[in-house]
């Protein structure tokens, strides 16, 4: 804990003999390492802080986790081992930057060990009431090579911002270049934590990752949207401390209701058409039964040209001023097709047709699909109004096909007998391959009846020798 030296007064002579103890601030078990970028868009993530904490003590991350942190956890996420047993935890170490049980447990323990009280701002715990886990965080590291390079050249601390952990962030907030996901040397995807993690270096080949990169994307619209996503999420992380006490589980629903009211005057179908999403999905958000994912929230905010922070706090003054309207107005571009009247069916004609088809011989019996196409109706119409006739047609056709199948197998058995006799006259042994060359359907050997017949005929030949 930092101490203001100017406020500490020296002892007087009488005070040296005083029985009262001098106030000593609380001591931390681990180094009181200061997080980087608190209150800024580039705030450090918790996995980066853990890596720097291990490096500060000169130990591997596996030692710090298994011997210091793990005994204090409420749940055992890390096994008491420094070997390969830690690999399952490292593979899901991205969860430390989220808001689940593992993140809250680690934050509580690290706050206790380092005498901090703001390490939750290195995770998404402040937004646990509004964000959905699905598609929130990427499972492997992403980084900006130019940020690494600049920090190293300027002799600054190398770290991983929490912003890079979002699955929706594709570009660097500072350099506006695409983030990298694979090591340029060994092409491996890197976990957030490993046995010997070193920030800025590959945990697999230990090569430096700070190489200059160039923008390769040619879709300007997509790049602009990705830059907007990075900016609005950076703004959200900047206001994490203020928003954490204001956001509730009903906040998304209230914000959504307010937006729908201002944009389409409570017309959910029109709002769904504007965003090109199913109406039922939109209704679930409107009624509060479900919550949209972060990607969906960003898509909504981008379409409305407002930041995610303004959406959550229901602050739409910028849009109102930009559009010079008291209410937000948008041009809805969706097809207004007139609803066609339901088609009338001649049920008597359909019934007579099905009865006539049922009386035909089985070999000429069509399928229900063919019948529906011939009558120019949907197959479900026939099944709904005439279930018994449809079942009789299907059963009759299946019975005929079964009889045809049996007849084909019997025909194949006769061909096998003739083939064996023919090979015997030629003085050749009736192997399965030679017999298959002389019959019309060699694939019938997969049936049990055919194989038993073949084996029986071969055994009878061998018994005569």
pLDDT of residue 321: 36
In a domain, 9, yes or no: no
In a domain, 198, yes or no: yes
Residue 162 sits in the same domain as residue 198: yes
Residue 53 sits in the same domain as residue 40: yes
Report the CATH number that the domain containing residue 329 is assigned in CATH: 1.10.260.40
Residue 64 sits in the same domain as residue 31: yes
Which pLDDT tens digit goes with each residue over 59-107? 988 888 888 888 888 877 665 555 556 788 888 888 999 998 889 999 9
Residue 165 sits in the same domain as residue 182: yes
Last residue of a domain, one of 337, 365, 387: 337
In a domain, 16, yes or no: no
pLDDT of residue 465: 64
Output the 3-class SS for the chain.
CCCCHHHCCCCCCCHHHCCCCCCCCCCCCCCCCCCCCCCCCCCECHHHHHHHHHHHCCCCHHHHHHHHHHHHCCCCCCCCCCCHHHHHHHHCHHHHHCCCHHHHHHHHHHHHHHCCCCHHHHCCHHHCCCCCCCCCECCCCCECHHHHHHHHHCCCCCCCEHHHHECCCCECCCCCCECECCCCCCCCCCCCCCCCCCCCECCCCCCECCCCCCCCCCCHHHHHHHHHHHHHHHHHHHCHHHHHCCCCCCHHHHHHHHHHHHHHCCCHHHHHHHHCCCHHHHHHHHHCCCCCCHHHHHHHHHHHCCCHHHHHCCCCHHHHHHHCCCCCCCCCCCCCCCCCCCCCCCHHHHHHHHHHHHCCCHHHCCCHHHHHHHHCCCHHHHHHHCHHHHHHHHHHHHHHHHHHHHHHHHHHHHHHHHHHHHHHHCCCCCCHHHHHHHCCCHHHHHCHHHHHHHHHHHHHHHHHC
Residue 38 sits in the same domain as residue 184: yes
Residue 94 sits in the same domain as residue 43: yes
Higher pLDDT, 332 or 342: 342
In a domain, 388, yes or no: yes
Count of domains for the chain: 3
pLDDT of residue 23: 63
In a domain, 394, yes or no: yes
> Is the predicted pLDDT of residue 416 greater than 60, yes or no?
yes
Last residue of a domain, one of 296, 317, 337: 337
In a domain, 1, yes or no: no
The confidence band for 208, taking pLDDT boundaries of 50, 70 and 90, is very high
Q: What is the mean pLDDT of residues 426-443?
A: 88
Which pLDDT tens digit goes with each residue over 315-336? 655 444 334 333 444 444 444 4
pLDDT of residue 330: 46
Q: Structural domain of residue 302, as residue ranges?
A: 248-337
Give first-to-last CA distance, the chain, whole Å.
100
Residue 216 sits in the same domain as residue 109: yes
- In which residue are the tokens 């690999």 written? 87
> Is the predicted pLDDT of residue 47 greater than 90, yes or no?
yes
- Residues of the chain with pLDDT > 70, as a percent, come to 84
Residue 261 sits in the same domain as residue 225: no
pLDDT of residue 336: 47
pLDDT of residue 16: 53
- In which residue are the tokens 């509004």 written? 130
pLDDT of residue 84: 56
In a domain, 457, yes or no: yes
Q: What is the mean pLDDT of residues 368-372?
A: 89
Which pLDDT tens digit goes with each residue over 393-415? 999 999 999 999 999 999 999 99
> Is the predicted pLDDT of residue 356 greater than 80, yes or no?
yes
Residue 269 sits in the same domain as residue 379: no
Residue 165 sits in the same domain as residue 88: yes
In a domain, 11, yes or no: no
Which pLDDT tens digit goes with each residue over 145-166? 999 999 999 999 999 999 999 9
Q: What is the mean pLDDT of residues 205-221?
A: 64
pLDDT of residue 320: 43
Residue 378 sits in the same domain as residue 459: yes
pLDDT of residue 402: 92
Which pLDDT tens digit goes with each residue over 86-98? 788 888 888 999 9
Mean pLDDT of the chain: 82
Q: What is the mean pLDDT of residues 118-135?
A: 89
Among 42-56, 194-208, 242-256, which stretch is predicted with the lowest mean pLDDT?
Answer: 242-256
Which pLDDT tens digit goes with each residue over 283-310? 888 888 888 888 888 888 888 788 888 8
Which pLDDT tens digit goes with each residue over 8-27? 555 555 555 555 665 666 78
Last residue of a domain, one of 245, 263, 291: 245
Residue 289 sits in the same domain as residue 397: no
> Is the predicted pLDDT of residue 445 greater than 80, yes or no?
yes
pLDDT of residue 201: 92
pLDDT of residue 333: 45
pLDDT of residue 219: 45
Calculate helix-pair angle for 251-264, 279-287, nearest 10 degrees.
120
pLDDT of residue 77: 65
pLDDT of residue 252: 82
């Amino acid at each position: 804990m930092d101490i203001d030296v100017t406020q500490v007064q020296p002892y007087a002579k009488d005070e040296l003999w005083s029985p009262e103890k001098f106030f000593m601030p609380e001591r931390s078990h681990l180094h009181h390492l200061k997080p980087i970028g608190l209150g800024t868009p580039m705030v450090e993530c918790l996995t980066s802080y853990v890596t720097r904490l291990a490096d500060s003590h000169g130990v591997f991350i596996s030692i710090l986790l298994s011997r210091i942190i793990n005994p204090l956890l409420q749940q055992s996420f890390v096994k008491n081992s420094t070997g390969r047993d830690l690999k399952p935890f490292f593979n899901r170490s991205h969860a430390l930057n989220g808001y689940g049980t593992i993140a809250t447990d680690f934050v509580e323990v690290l706050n206790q060990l380092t005498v901090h009280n703001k390490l939750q701002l290195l995770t998404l715990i402040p937004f646990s009431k509004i964000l959905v886990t699905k598609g929130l965080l990427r499972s492997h590291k992403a980084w900006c090579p130019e940020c690494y390079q600049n920090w190293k050249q300027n002799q600054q601390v190398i770290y991983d911002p929490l912003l890079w952990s979002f699955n929706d962030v594709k570009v660097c907030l500072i350099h506006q270049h695409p983030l990298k996901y694979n090591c340029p040397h060994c092409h491996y995807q890197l976990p957030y934590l490993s046995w010997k993690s070193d920030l800025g270096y590959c945990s697999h080949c230990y090569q430096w990752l700070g190489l200059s990169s160039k923008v390769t994307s040619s879709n300007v619209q997509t790049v602009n949207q990705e830059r907007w996503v990075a900016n609005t999420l950076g703004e959200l992380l900047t206001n994490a401390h203020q928003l954490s006490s204001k956001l509730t589980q009903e906040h998304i629903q209230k914000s959504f209701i307010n937006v729908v009211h201002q944009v389409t005057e409570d017309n959910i179908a029109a709002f769904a058409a504007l965003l090109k999403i199913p109406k039922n999905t939109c209704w679930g958000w409107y009624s509060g039964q479900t919550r949209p994912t972060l990607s969906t929230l960003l898509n909504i905010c981008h379409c409305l040209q407002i930041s995610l922070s303004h959406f959550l706090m229901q602050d739409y003054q910028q849009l109102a001023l930009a559009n010079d309207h008291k209410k937000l107005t948008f041009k809805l571009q969706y097809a207004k097709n007139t609803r066609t009247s339901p088609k009338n069916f001649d049920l008597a004609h359909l019934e007579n047709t099905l009865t006539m088809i049922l009386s035909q011989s089985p070999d000429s019996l069509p399928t229900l699909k063919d019948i529906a196409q011939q009558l120019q109706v949907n197959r479900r119409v026939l099944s709904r109004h005439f279930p018994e006739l449809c079942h009789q047609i299907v059963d009759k056709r299946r019975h005929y096909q079964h009889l045809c199948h049996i007849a084909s197998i019997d025909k194949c058995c006769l061909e096998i007998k003739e083939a064996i006799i023919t090979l015997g006259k030629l003085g050749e042994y009736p192997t399965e391959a030679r017999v298959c060359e002389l019959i019309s359907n060699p694939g019938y050997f997969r049936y049990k009846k055919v194989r038993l017949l073949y084996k029986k005929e071969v055994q009878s030949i061998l018994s005569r020798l």
